[in-house]
Amino acid sequence: MKEKSETSNWLDLPRDVMIIILSKLHTIDILYSVQRVCSSWRKLCKEPQFFCRIVIPSRWEDCARLGADGLAELVKVAMDRSCGELVEFSLETRKQVVLIDLLFNVVERSNTLKYLRLDTCFTFQSRSLWKQIARKIPLLEELEIHYDSFSVMAIEEVGRSCPNLHYFKLKGELPWYSRGDCNKMVFAIAESMPQLRRLSLIENGLTNDGLQAILDGCPHLEYLDLRKCLRVNLNFSLLKKSSDRIIDVRLPKDAIDGRFRTRGNRVMAAYNFSSV
């Protein structure tokens, strides 16, 4: 006779095990799927620890259908459940919407915020609003922001207000009409963020002057991403200065998918200096 196969009931799992499993899911999965399974899971899904990190990835297609109001309501529910212990807020959507009120609500209620990642979904009517935002997140350690949502003044304010910031990623290609001032934002980073250890400037329009300013103004850099920064004309002295001080450098010609990276003294081998 064949033995009957045993089936496991998820409801029988210990509470600690369920917490570990659910902690691997995104906020959106908990609010729109997991808590609807049964009453016991719904009760468990109200634990603040599941909402210390509010992450809404771009793969979640319903974000576009929710619109600004629906998305703001979703984040509000997650914020309520975090009980003021939010440490990370990450939002990506494929459709741009104006969500300045949502961001203000997040920073107003989360002075513990350490990681802030925003994609192109944020469009600000006034870039000066970052002055108010930065002052409410003094513990911030990592910031990823799209170029369209930032400015020189915003960089300076974040540098002054967030002394613990060690990672900054400025995403998106510099608009063609701003390329005459392409180094202004980079100069602001060098002057106001000397504590940085990791800096990503993919597709930025900086030139050699901007790169030199970064190397001089950010002495603690361990990681520098310059992929697709095609206006940088790397020469021997700049590469040597980078390789002597920075552990991980990604150069303008490196693959954008990250398959190739250059570490330490191997930076010099990435380019042919036969003409130097």
Phi, psi dihedrals of residue 75, rounded to the nearest 5°: -65, -35
- Using alpha carbons, list the distances in angstroms from residue 241 to 72, 199, 211, 216: 46, 16, 11, 10
User: What is the pLDDT, as a whole number, of residue 177?
Assistant: 43
Total Cβ atoms within 10 A of residue 96: 13
Of 221, 218, 216, nearest to 250 by C-alpha is 221
Q: Quote the pTM value.
A: 0.80
Nearest-5° Cα angle at 148, 147 to 153:
75
Q: Read off the tokens for 7.
A: 């089936």
233: amino acid identity, one letter: N
| Separation of alpha carbons 68 and 128, rounded Å | 21
| Separation of alpha carbons 143 and 49, rounded Å | 22
Reduce the DSSP state of residue 122 to 3 states and report it.
strand
User: What is the pLDDT, as a whole number, of residue 160?
Assistant: 93
Q: Residue-wise over 194-205: b if at least 16 C-beta within 10 A, else e?
A: eebbbbbbbbbb
| Separation of alpha carbons 206 and 214, rounded Å | 10
| Separation of alpha carbons 76 and 81, rounded Å | 9
Q: Are 95 and 67 in contact (CB under 8 A)?
A: no
Sign of the dihedral through C-alpha 187, 190, 196, 197: positive
User: What is the pLDDT, as a whole number, of residue 272?
Assistant: 39
Residues of the chain with pLDDT under 70: 1-13, 58-67, 93-99, 120-128, 148-149, 172-181, 257-276
Of 167, 102, 113, 116, nearest to 136 by C-alpha is 113
Nearest-5° Cα angle at 62, 256 to 81:
100
**For residue range 126-169, what is the model confidence (pLDDT) as tens digits?**
556 777 888 899 999 999 987 766 788 889 999 999 999 999 99
